[in-house]
Amino acid sequence: PKPFQTFGETSFPEFVEELAFELFTSDAKPFPVQAQVWPCALSGADVTAVAPTGSGKTLAFLLPAMVHMMAQPELRPGEGPIALVLEPTRELA
């Protein structure tokens, strides 16, 4: 899919865009890794992203995971998990 150039192009809940504008500026744009990952992840594709520290990888996978989790019906006992996050080191957890 075509990379997202703005937060408005995503299907994230409105609070995500508001938070981005609050934390950064009203001109806030996704980092390159996010622009590439979000359309793929939001369409249900598996994604592997390699980028330097501080490039936005955490939000690149975390925000689509949140959208997925919020769209699921409430779990019943014995069901789950809805999302699994693996971190390479304890320091990043």
75-93: pLDDT as tens digits: 999 998 888 877 777 766 6
Q: pTM of the entire structure?
A: 0.77
Contact (Cβ atoms closer than 8 angstroms) between residue 41 and residue 20: no
pLDDT at 77: 94
Count other C-beta atoms under 10 Å from residue 12's C-beta: 20
Contact (Cβ atoms closer than 8 angstroms) between residue 43 and residue 1: yes
Does the pLDDT of residue 56 top 80, yes or no? yes
pLDDT at 93: 60
* Rounded (5°) CA angle 37-42-45: 75
Closest CA to 35 of 55, 19, 13: 55
Query: What is the tens place of the pLDDT at every residue in 14-53?
Result: 887 787 778 777 677 889 999 999 999 999 898 888 899 8
Contact (Cβ atoms closer than 8 angstroms) between residue 61 and residue 49: yes
